[in-house]
């Protein structure tokens, strides 16, 4: 039943969810109400925290179509639960597009239409005879899900794309716009066109913050302490909580207000809406619905929606979405029906596929261009949160939780502390009952042990390191919108870099040109602005084939286009509105060389004499740009149709990736040595662009060109030659990559540039070492009945012929029978390189190879933005902690998806990136990793310290309970405030170590080093406390008050004669005083031992607040021990013990210190860490020390791996779980050693038998063969 009613919404998308239906159940509601009252509201809190429990406890399962409440669970790795109430609205129709035809053609429909209203859609009414249709829907994360009877599921209405309309239908069916009735009708479903970021009231934020489990537990603790008259610490915790809540509320409110202001600044504008053929009206942008046709003003605007251009051209700044502030030219959507030859190209419209024709919400239209007085029009495609900007805002409002092992282990560790608390709770309960204490005292003291074992200040202490790290990052210009990810940065073992603008300089420099004539290359030339070249087709192509425009008199556009155009020395002129209106044959933009570059006569015999005279071409040489086909990253080319003023025929110019341009040219015009020349340039790291030309047929008129398909233009071209651009490395790039390599952090290049250029840059910046080999994986899709295949070849020896299959004689990668490489290549490092096309083929047809290839893939070229995101996801699937560093232009998806995305752009698009650097330099990457490691180690230190603090205090109280005593209120206060809080907030101040080391910190609390550290320190503290507890009770003077010899007279007499205090807990006694001193020193000992410096943090002695605090506390404790002061002793409820015992306590403390320091620094850090827990020893990788970063595979932090090796012999690798480790560790502590050893062996054998077959090659952190790099493929 449950599986049948389980629906999937948003299938295949990032927010895909499983949906099930429920109906409210009255008897369950009554039962839950009674349960909530009986538990004092705790049951209500539990249901509030757990949406799944809430729905199942108050509802019964039903069919989704009849549901009153929906329960949703995300299908990602987080498996989050959501609940939403199903609502019903009365709509005039079932579907927003149902009445489109009828309302357009039928005049009767206008009479039945509801009255237009600017109010909410729910208030719109129709005539009584209209039949309203009940429409079921629910809202989740600012998105409405409507019930669809056809598919029997809830769906999101996004906009016109739901209709799967073709490009021609956009022109034929949607270009006229909607009337008022249709607009109001659609607004029922799509709502107002606004991205409504509601700023919650302080009261709502306060309630939500206070209902956090952490604050509820604090409230419980405070009430319990007040019942026990422990007011001072309760007051301190309340003050801390109030400050914490106030700070949190201020920060959250500020973020909401900033986001609201950013969205609201341009959310409501006045727009001109088309109502029919020639009718227009002014309206607010909030009234727009999908299907409306709007007029884009000539002076520009901020787009209030996503709309597709159907008439005219726009210059747009899309920095809000892409992070790239370069203006982009948007052209109108092609209409294939108007072009008879191109009718077959009538594709389904998609905002992603046709983004060059789509104006996105939030982007800035700088100016528009139009022909002969026509208006620039666009059809509204998406509104509100469905727009590109709306989706960006949703990703900020509803981010995915941080998936990091530390936080999972923290909850696990807390559960362990709760388990310990439960045991001690039962123990204290039994002890109190045996001592026949009052019932109230039994309950309060037993519950108090829980607040001791699970410290309420733990979460606040855990965030201290992150707060300090965030402050230090801000000082070096790195800002974060997700501080929790700082800890994850400490685990990064792979960083992906964009190339242009990230590893290399943002701009390109012109190195030279190499022209082609008669199918042969000329010698390379440095300058293109020579007089002898001014009238050549090559220079004309450079001057016209670009997307540059003039904004306020300044040339603006793509940096590459700008450099190319400037190299010609030509001038760009844009026609005025008056010129366009009077001469519809004259193009909007034309270019011309300066007069000094022109030869005496450039008039062609084909020139139209009338136009010649009109423009006085004897003194100028003008080329008008008739049509522009914008650059497409998918096609890797752009083209223009131009006409030289005075000539009748038009020309087409093309530029793009050399391989692509050559494939579109006549074979006889492409030089035979094209491949060799191109390879020579790309190997040197140059950016190479090819140019081509075609003389168009005379029958092609101006108006025909406006509607022709680009495929009809971009064919049978004449190859013109190559432009060679130089993209210099940033000065800091090699040094940063070298630091990352020495830190065993793998680096990967993900770029949209040419493969060989990318490989060359990777070698230049030492991402690929000189002695390493690069293998290009060239994957080919299925074709002509043949299956998909992968050709392998070395990048250094590529095939000489582009059209012939690559020879594999150099390679010995045989997929079927698994032959290995030659023994002579043991020490060589291999890197895989592939293009975006190959990556797509491998994802689709070679899933079994994908993970193995990315383990050694270093260069990914010609990658589209979505492919970059897929690559990050694939790397994360093999358990890499992935960082992504890019300039934001095409990296937004990958920046959001990576564990740590670092945007080098401060523009609005970077708001979705977890980290933003104000300096456009990759030096931020090692800084972020260093601070992340420091924050992570700080979190571990604090967590270990807080765990030890709670267990030490719990142990002290448990021991005192056994003799009917307890710690005094002011003793608790001194420990909790003066020692714990002071130490916690100062031990977190250690800054990051100055350099990155090869060693990485553990990723979780459940890891070998941390478990060993905590368990050993617990046992040490347990042993020395019990030693002191037992020793004092066996001394002769323990029961003889007269033996005391203290400087404070009558101190003991006052204590023994006090009958009032005897009736309560006997706090002032020898055992209490002894355990107070021993435990106080133990807190300081573990704080010092745990507060480690190198290799991840600065040494603790440089953290002067911590050193000063620890010294003051140590001196103070020694002072009150050896020089008792009556007022202090009375305040802390201490008694004076004999000097000999005080010396004994000092010896116990010194013994504790020596053992703790020895275990932590010598046994753990030197012996076990280097020989058992180490994961980064290069010697065991079979890789030369000078080689690149070991290609790390799966990182199993829950397991310990132990391997043994002798020269020439390789033993199996054993995998130990924490359980195995604990069983082995327990051998000397139990009499049943044989049984424990048997259990440990059984666990180890089971674990290895279960896991080893499941792990792919490379799953461990080191290879088991010297041929590991290529054996990954076998």
Residues catalogued as catalytic: 498
The DSSP H or E segment spanning 1070 is helix 1070-1090
Asked whether the beta carbons of 584 and 624 are under 8 A apart, the reply is: no
Distance CA 466, CA 484 (A): 7
| All residues at 6 or more sequence positions from 1053 whose CB lies less than 8 Å from its CB, including other chains | 1041
| All residues at 6 or more sequence positions from 929 whose CB lies less than 8 Å from its CB, including other chains | 489, 490, 492, 743, 745, 883, 996
What residues are paired with 1161 via a beta bridge? Answer: none
Distance CA 413, CA 684 (A): 55
Instruction: Measure Cα distances from 1224 to 15, 950, 1227, 1267 in Å.
Output: 45, 26, 6, 35
| All residues at 6 or more sequence positions from 1242 whose CB lies less than 8 Å from its CB, including other chains | none
Distance CA 1240, CA 1223 (A): 5
Asked whether the beta carbons of 1018 and 948 are under 8 A apart, the reply is: yes
Q: Which residues of 737-752 are buried (b: 16+ CB within 10 A; e: fewer)?
A: bebbbebbbbbbbbbb
Instruction: Give the 3-state secondary structure of residue 637.
Output: strand
Asked whether the beta carbons of 659 and 651 are under 8 A apart, the reply is: no
Distance CA 414, CA 412 (A): 5
The Cβ-side half-sphere exposure at 438, using a 13 Å CA radius, reads: 6
Asked whether the beta carbons of 925 and 902 are under 8 A apart, the reply is: yes
Distance CA 966, CA 682 (A): 78
Asked whether the beta carbons of 937 and 490 are under 8 A apart, the reply is: yes
Q: Residue with structure tokens 């390109």?
A: 508
1017: closest CA among 947, 933, 1068?
A: 947
What phi and psi, each to the nearest 5 degrees, are found at residue 937? -65, -40
165: closest CA among 290, 14, 3?
A: 290
User: CA geometry: angle at 945 spanning 1124 and 1155, to 5°?
Assistant: 70
Instruction: Give the 3-state secondary structure of residue 1066.
Output: coil
Asked whether the beta carbons of 995 and 1096 are under 8 A apart, the reply is: no
Cis amide prior to 1095 (ω within 30 degrees): yes
What residues are paired with 690 via a beta bridge? Answer: 656, 722
Strands 377-382 and 293-295: antiparallel
Asked whether the beta carbons of 380 and 291 are under 8 A apart, the reply is: yes
Distance CA 922, CA 942 (A): 31
Instruction: Give the 3-state secondary structure of residue 505.
Output: coil
Count of residues for the chain? 1274
């Amino acid at each position: 039943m449950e599986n049948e009613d389980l629906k999937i919404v948003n299938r295949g998308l990032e927010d895909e969810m499983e949906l099930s239906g429920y109906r409210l159940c009255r008897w369950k509601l009554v039962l839950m109400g009674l349960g909530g009252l009986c538990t004092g509201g705790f049951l209500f809190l539990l249901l509030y925290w757990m949406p799944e429990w809430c729905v199942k406890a108050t509802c019964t399962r039903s069919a989704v179509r009849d549901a009153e409440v929906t329960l949703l669970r995300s299908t990602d790795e987080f498996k989050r639960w959501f609940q939403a109430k199903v609502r019903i609205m009365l709509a005039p129709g079932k579907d927003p597009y149902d009445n489109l035809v009828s309302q357009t053609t039928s005049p009767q429909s206008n009479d039945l239409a509801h009255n237009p209203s600017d109010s909410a859609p729910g208030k719109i009414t129709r005539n009584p005879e209209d039949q309203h249709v009940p429409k079921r829907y629910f809202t989740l994360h600012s998105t409405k899900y409507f019930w669809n009877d056809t598919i029997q599921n809830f769906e999101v209405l996004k906009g016109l794309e739901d209709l799967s309309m073709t490009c021609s239908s956009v022109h034929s069916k949607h270009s006229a716009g909607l009337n008022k009735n249709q607009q109001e009708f659609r607004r029922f479903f799509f709502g107002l066109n606004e991205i409504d970021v509601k700023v919650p009231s302080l009261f709502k934020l306060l309630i939500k913050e206070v209902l956090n489990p952490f604050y509820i537990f604090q409230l419980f603790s405070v009430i319990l302490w007040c019942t026990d008259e422990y007011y001072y610490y309760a007051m301190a915790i309340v003050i801390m909580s109030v400050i914490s809540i106030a700070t949190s509320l201020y920060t959250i409110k500020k973020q909401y207000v900033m986001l609201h202001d950013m969205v609201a600044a341009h959310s409501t504008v006045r727009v001109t809406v088309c109502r029919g053929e020639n009718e227009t009206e002014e309206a607010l942008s909030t009234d727009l619905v999908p299907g409306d046709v709007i007029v884009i003003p000539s002076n520009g605007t901020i787009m209030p929606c996503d709309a597709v251009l159907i008439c005219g051209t726009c210059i747009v700044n899309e920095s809000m979405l892409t992070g790239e502030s370069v203006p982009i030219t948007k052209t109108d959507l092609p209409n294939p029906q108007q072009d008879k030859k191109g009718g077959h190209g009538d594709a389904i419209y998609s905002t992603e596929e046709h983004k060059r024709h789509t104006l996105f919400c939030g982007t800035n239209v700088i100016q528009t261009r139009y022909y002969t007085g026509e208006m620039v029009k666009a059809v509204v495609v998406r509104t509100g949160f469905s727009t590109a900007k709306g989706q960006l805002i949703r990703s900020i409002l509803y981010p995915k939780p941080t998936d990091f092992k530390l936080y999972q282990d923290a909850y696990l560790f807390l559960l362990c502390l709760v388990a310990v608390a439960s045991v001690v709770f039962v123990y204290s309960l039994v002890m109190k009952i045996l001592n026949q204490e009052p019932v109230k005292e039994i309950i309060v003291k037993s519950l108090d042990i829980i607040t001791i074992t699970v410290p309420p200040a733990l979460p606040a202490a855990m965030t201290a390191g992150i707060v300090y790290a965030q402050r230090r990052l801000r000082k070096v210009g790195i800002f974060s919108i997700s501080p929790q990810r700082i800890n994850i940065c400490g685990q990064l073992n792979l960083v992906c870099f964009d190339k242009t603008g990230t590893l290399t300089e943002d701009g390109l420099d012109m190195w030279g040109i190499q022209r082609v004539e008669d199918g042969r290359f000329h010698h390379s030339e440095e300058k293109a602005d020579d007089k002898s070249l001014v009238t050549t087709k090559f220079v004309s192509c450079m001057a016209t084939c670009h997307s540059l425009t003039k904004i306020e008199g300044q040339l603006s556009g793509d940096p590459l286009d700008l450099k190319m155009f400037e190299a010609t020395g030509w001038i760009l002129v844009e026609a005025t509105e008056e010129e366009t209106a009077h001469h519809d044959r004259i193009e909007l933009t034309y270019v011309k060389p300066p007069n000094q570059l022109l030869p005496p006569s450039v008039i062609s015999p084909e020139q139209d004499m009338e136009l010649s005279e009109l423009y006085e071409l004897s003194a100028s040489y003008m080329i008008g740009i008739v049509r522009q086909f914008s650059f497409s990253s998918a096609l890797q080319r752009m083209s223009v149709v131009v006409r030289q003023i005075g000539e009748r025929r038009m020309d087409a110019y093309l530029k793009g990736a050399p391989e692509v341009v050559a494939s579109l040219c006549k074979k006889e015009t492409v030089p035979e040595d094209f491949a060799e020349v191109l390879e020579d340039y790309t190997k040197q790291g140059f950016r190479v662009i090819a140019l081509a030309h075609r003389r168009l047929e005379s029958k092609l008129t101006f108006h025909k060109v406006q509607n022709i398909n680009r495929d009809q233009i971009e064919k049978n071209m004449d190859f013109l030659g190559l432009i060679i651009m130089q993209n210099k490395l940033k000065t800091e790039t090699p040094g940063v990559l070298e630091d990352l390599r020495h830190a065993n952090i793998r680096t990967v290049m993900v770029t949209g540039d040419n493969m060989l250029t990318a490989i060359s840059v990777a070698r230049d910046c030492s991402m690929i070492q000189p002695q390493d080999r690069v293998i290009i994986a060239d994957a080919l899709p299925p074709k002509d009945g043949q299956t998909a295949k992968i050709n392998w070849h070395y990048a250094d020896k590529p095939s000489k012929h582009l059209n012939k299959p690559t020879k594999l004689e150099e390679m010995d990668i045989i997929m079927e029978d698994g032959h290995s490489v030659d023994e002579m290549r043991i020490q060589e490092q291999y890197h895989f390189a592939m293009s975006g096309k190959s990556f797509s083929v491998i994802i689709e047809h070679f899933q079994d190879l994908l993970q193995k290839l990315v383990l050694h893939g270093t260069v990914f070229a010609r990658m589209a933005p979505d492919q970059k995101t897929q690559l990050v996801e694939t790397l994360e699937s093999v358990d890499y902690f992935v960082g992504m560093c890019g300039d934001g232009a095409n990296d937004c998806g990958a920046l959001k998806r990576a564990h740590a995305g670092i945007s080098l752009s401060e523009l609005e698009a970077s708001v979705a990136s977890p980290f933003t650097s104000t300096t456009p330099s990759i030096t931020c990457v090692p800084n972020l990793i260093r601070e992340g490691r420091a924050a992570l180690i700080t979190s571990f230190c604090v967590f270990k310290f807080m765990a030890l603090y709670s267990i030490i205090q719990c142990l002290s109280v448990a021991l005192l309970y056994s003799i009917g005593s307890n710690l005094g209120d002011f003793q608790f206060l001194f420990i909790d405030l003066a020692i714990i809080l002071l130490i916690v907030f100062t031990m977190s101040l250690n800054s990051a170590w100055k350099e990155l080391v090869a060693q990485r910190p553990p990723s979780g609390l459940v890891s070998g080093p941390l478990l060993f550290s905590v368990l050993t320190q617990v046992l040490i503290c347990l042993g020395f406390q019990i030693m002191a507890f037992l020793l004092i009770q066996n001394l002769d003077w323990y029961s003889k008050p007269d033996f005391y010899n203290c400087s404070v007279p009558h101190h003991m007499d006052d204590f023994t004669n006090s009958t009032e205090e005897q009736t309560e807990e006997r706090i002032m006694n020898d055992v209490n005083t002894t355990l107070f001193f021993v435990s106080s020193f133990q807190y300081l000992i573990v704080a010092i031992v745990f507060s480690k410096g190198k290799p991840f943090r600065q040494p603790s002695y440089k953290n002067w607040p911590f050193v000063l605090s620890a010294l003051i506390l140590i001196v103070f404790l020694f002072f009150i021990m050896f020089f008792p002061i009556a007022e202090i002793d009375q305040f802390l409820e201490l008694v004076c013990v004999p000097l000999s015992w005080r010396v004994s306590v000092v010896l116990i403390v010194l013994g504790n210190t020596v053992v703790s320091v020895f275990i932590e620094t010598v046994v753990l850090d030197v012996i076990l860490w280097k020989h058992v827990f180490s994961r980064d020893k290069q010697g065991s990788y079979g890789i030369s020390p000078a080689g690149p970063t070991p290609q790390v595979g799966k990182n199993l932090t829950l397991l310990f791996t132990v391997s043994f090796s002798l020269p020439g012999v390789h033993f199996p690798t054993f995998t130990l779980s924490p359980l195995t480790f604990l069983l082995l560790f327990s051998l000397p502590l139990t009499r049943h050693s044989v049984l424990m050893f048997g259990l440990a062996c059984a666990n180890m054998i089971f674990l290895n038998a279960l896991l080893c077959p499941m792990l792919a090659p490379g799953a461990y952190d080191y290879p088991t063969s010297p041929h590991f790099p290529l054996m990954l493929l076998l």
